[in-house]
Structure 1
Amino acid sequence: MKITVTGSLGNISKPLTQLLVQQGHHVTVISSQPERQKDIEALHAHAAIGTLEDADFLRNALQSADALYAMVPPSFTAADQRSWYQETGRRYAAAITATGVRRVVFLSSMGAHLDAGIGIILGARDVESIFNDIPGISVTHLRPGYFYYNLYGFMDTIRKLGHIRASYGEQDMIELIAPADIAAVAAEELEATPAATPAIRYIVSDERTCNEVAAAIGKAIGQPDLQWRRCSREQTLADCLEKGIPENVAVNPVDIFANIHSGDFAADYRKHQPIPLGKIKLEDFAQEFAAAFRHGN
């Protein structure tokens, strides 16, 4: 099968490309970075160098493809983050329609069932809707939980304050996900028998409270008393701005954090349980966190 993968050699797209090539598929990887071409070809995949903002390039990259793994890369320069998602989704739809791609697996997000107050995830929800309206295709929307690597953002807080601080925490539950577990599910879905109607698949590697996350990370970094303290929305926004995150971008995690604390973020996921968990557990990630923490990352 001929499969086009977006996301260059990112945390999900690289292991996904490796899996698909190992399974005998002809894989084209879209990347906006020319220097990635050799690395892509080293994986025995074809490199399509260009940007998703170029409609002609995207159409050419999908030419003769049987299936597409689609994701929307973040744009920290777009004034309106949600519009960026919508525009990218519409370009995807036009290219899919023009080239006759029949199978699409889209990287959405947990929380996309909400229609307000969920930050940039509203953009993912919009793209789900755009893809659902494309006639003649089979689409699966992947809705992963909270990425483990988002926890790296608390390293400076741990160093400066001696604890984790955010507007969710303590006994709040987090549905954690590792990119490798997403890649495994994406590969499985790309090979699956096409469904007649749009499908949603939730992906979670582990489920823990914030206190349990703090305990695991604390043990790994040699701070067994590490705590996760919940603070105000205003403090979380101030912490984001202090890191140099533009305010129009910083409001997104603040909104998402509020939904994690309320439980709304994972409410639809809970309705679909039981769902098998992925292979990479919190304690596995804690060791990676500790290695990065020791090296001052």
Structure 2
Amino acid sequence: MKIVVTGSLGNISKPLTQLLVSKGHSVTVVSTNPERKAEIENLGAQPAIGTMEDVDFLSETFKGADIVYAMEALNAGCFFDHNVDFIAANTQIGKNYKEAFERSGVKRIVHLSSIGAHMSQGNGILAFHHNVESILKELPEDVSIKFMRPVAFYYNMYAFIPDIKAQGKIIQNYGGDQKEPWVSPLDIAEVIAEEIEKPFNGREIRYIASEEIAPNEIAGILGEAIGNNELKWEIIPDEQMLDNLIHTGMNPQTAKGFIEMNAAMNNGTLSEDYYAHQPALGKIKVKDFAKEFAITYHQ
């Protein structure tokens, strides 16, 4: 099949491209970076260089594709750009996709959404996923869409490193012994590759997770991996966490979105729909990720 993969060679799109090429599909990878062309070609895929803001480019790239894997992504550093409305910018990309799908005639879409997309409010920075799902659902009924809803990504834990190095602990406005779902991008890529080859039937939702584990357990595993068996996970009030994020230079609006998302994780509302449609767990566990975390930590 002819498949278009958005997201350049990111944490999900690169392993997804490798899987699809290995299965014999013709893959085009969308990237904003011309310097990625050679690397994309070396994977056995075709590069398409352009932006998610350019509807003409998207429409032309999607034309003739059997399936498009679509995800929203802003430039690195967007969390700290005080001129970016994170939710609005990502929602606009969703609108661009919708127009490009209509103009190109694509009938099968796999869309990367998120846990929390079932909530129209109270989910913080994840609100754009709800917005984009709603926008794509406006496409004609003969367009089949699989909404992939992964949970918290393992690599988000890299954000813990500054606090661990400075204060010897993980500091968040959620935590404790309540298990929460986490996921490896490699497991996400496996599921998406699987869904691409399965029949499409209207509008479907699939959650993706690798392990359900409590924050205090995560602290123990990461601590052991980096050689700090005393590592603890400390919960601080929302206001204090917000001040910490703003102090690092984060856009205050985006920082508030993170706080609200974490609070929804803490009170369980973020995971309600996930547990109502609980998936089989993937292969890669926190102990596997902890080896990579330790390498990055000690660099």
Is the TM-score greater than 0.5?
Answer: yes
Matched, 1:218 2:218: no
Task: Report the more deviating stretch, 208-217 or 184-193.
Answer: 184-193
Q: Percent identity?
A: 44
User: How far apart are 1:120 and its partner, in Å?
Assistant: 2.1
User: How far apart are 1:58 and its partner, in Å?
Assistant: 0.7
- Return the letter of the residue paired with 1:219: E
| Residue equivalent to 1:7 | 7
Matched, 1:237 2:242: yes
| Residue equivalent to 1:180 | 186
| Residue equivalent to 1:291 | 295
User: How far apart are 1:241 and its partner, in Å?
Assistant: 1.8
Secondary structure of 2:89's aligned partner: helix
| Residue equivalent to 1:102 | 107
User: How far apart are 1:74 and its partner, in Å?
Assistant: 2.9
Question: Deviations for 1:249-294, whole angstroms, at most 9, x for unmatched residues?
Answer: 2122111100111011111011113x21011101001111111111
| Residue equivalent to 1:120 | 125
Distance (whole Å) between structure 2 residues aligned to residue 15 and residue 222 of structure 1: 30
Matched, 1:162 2:172: no
Per the normalisation by structure 1, the TM-score is: 0.96
2:277 to 248, 272, 276: 272
Per the normalisation by structure 2, the TM-score is: 0.95
User: How far apart are 1:236 and its partner, in Å?
Assistant: 1.2
User: How far apart are 1:22 and its partner, in Å?
Assistant: 0.6
Question: Deviations for 1:203-262, whole angstroms, at most 9, x for unmatched residues?
Answer: 000010000000000111111121101101111112212222111221221111001110
- Return the letter of the residue paired with 2:136: F
- Return the letter of the residue paired with 2:295: A
Secondary structure of 2:262's aligned partner: helix
- Return the letter of the residue paired with 2:263: A
Secondary structure of 2:270's aligned partner: coil
User: How far apart are 1:30 and its partner, in Å?
Assistant: 0.4
Aligned residues: 293
- Closer/same/farther in 2, CA of residues 259 and 167 from structure 1, 3 Å limit: same
Task: Report the more deviating stretch, 239-248 or 180-189.
Answer: 239-248
| Residue equivalent to 2:18 | 18
| Residue equivalent to 2:286 | 282
User: How far apart are 1:81 and its partner, in Å?
Assistant: 2.2
Secondary structure of 1:7's aligned partner: coil
User: How far apart are 1:85 and its partner, in Å?
Assistant: 2.3
Q: Is the 8 A contact 1:85 1:126 kept in 2?
A: no
Distance (whole Å) between structure 2 residues aligned to residue 13 and residue 257 of structure 1: 26
1:144 to 146, 150, 154: 150
Secondary structure of 1:120's aligned partner: helix
| Residue equivalent to 2:197 | 191
- Return the letter of the residue paired with 2:280: P
Distance (whole Å) between structure 2 residues aligned to residue 286 and residue 174 of structure 1: 17
Distance (whole Å) between structure 1 residues aligned to residue 244 and residue 271 of structure 2: 24
Q: Is the 8 A contact 1:172 1:260 kept in 2?
A: no
- Return the letter of the residue paired with 1:101: V
Distance (whole Å) between structure 2 residues aligned to residue 79 and residue 134 of structure 1: 27
RMSD of equivalent CA atoms? 1.1
1:201 to 176, 193, 206: 206
Where do 1:56-71 residues align within 5 Å? 56-71=56-71
- Return the letter of the residue paired with 1:9: L
Distance (whole Å) between structure 1 residues aligned to residue 244 and residue 295 of structure 2: 24
User: How far apart are 1:187 and its partner, in Å?
Assistant: 0.8
Distance (whole Å) between structure 1 residues aligned to residue 127 and residue 194 of structure 2: 26
Gaps of 5+ in 1: none
